[in-house]
Amino acid sequence: MSEFFETVKDITSAAMKKADTTCKAARLKLSKSALNKLLAGQYIELGKTVYNMCKSGDEDSQEIVSITAQIDGTRRRIAALDRRIDDVLGLVKCPKCGAVLKIKNAYCSVCGKKLTTEQESIEENENEMNIITEER
């Protein structure tokens, strides 16, 4: 009988772990969509700035440089989130061919490139909300 309960416990903890992963991935995807909205807004801002510059004939390249830097920052954060989502789901992208692979593979099964596990550098307990709010 105790064996039965052990099995149930195993199944339950596996299910909970899976639910946790799904939940975490969903949260990260939500953060990513918020960042994509932010990025879209920044592109609009950049467009408006260029439009106004053309209209008025005033060159304010400083403002364009500043918005461009903000866009680069947002794009970096989206890329970092993408890596974390892959990480949470246990996936890794081959740096050479871009194939999505299971993290445990030592070599890319598509192109044969040796895969390093530098994913460790991504901080696990980093607050997802920080990604959105920082550097605004």
Which positions lie near Zn ion, rule CB under 5 A? 94, 96-97, 99, 108, 110-111, 113
Tokens 């975490």 -> residue: 24
Rank residues 36 and 105 by Cβ distance to Zn ion and give the closer one.
Answer: 105
d(CA 13, CA 31): 27
Rank residues 61 and 105 by Cβ distance to Zn ion and give the closer one.
Answer: 105
Rank residues 103 and 111 by Cβ distance to Zn ion and give the closer one.
Answer: 111
Rounded to a whole number of angstroms, the minimum distance from the CB of residue 108 to Zn ion is: 3
Rank residues 13 and 105 by Cβ distance to Zn ion and give the closer one.
Answer: 105
Rounded to a whole number of angstroms, the minimum distance from the CB of residue 120 to Zn ion is: 20
Rounded to a whole number of angstroms, the minimum distance from the CB of residue 80 to Zn ion is: 21
41 Cα distance to chain centroid? 19
Rounded to a whole number of angstroms, the minimum distance from the CB of residue 97 to Zn ion is: 3
- Residue-by-residue DSSP string for 36-77: HHHHHHHHHHHHHHHHHHHHH----HHHHHHHHHHHHHHHHH
Q: Are 63 and 14 a contacting pair, CB within 8 Å? A: no
Rank residues 118 and 123 by Cβ distance to Zn ion and give the closer one.
Answer: 118
Rounded to a whole number of angstroms, the minimum distance from the CB of residue 96 to Zn ion is: 5
Q: Residue 60: what are its φ and ψ, rounded to 5°?
A: -125, 70
Tokens of 15: 């299910």
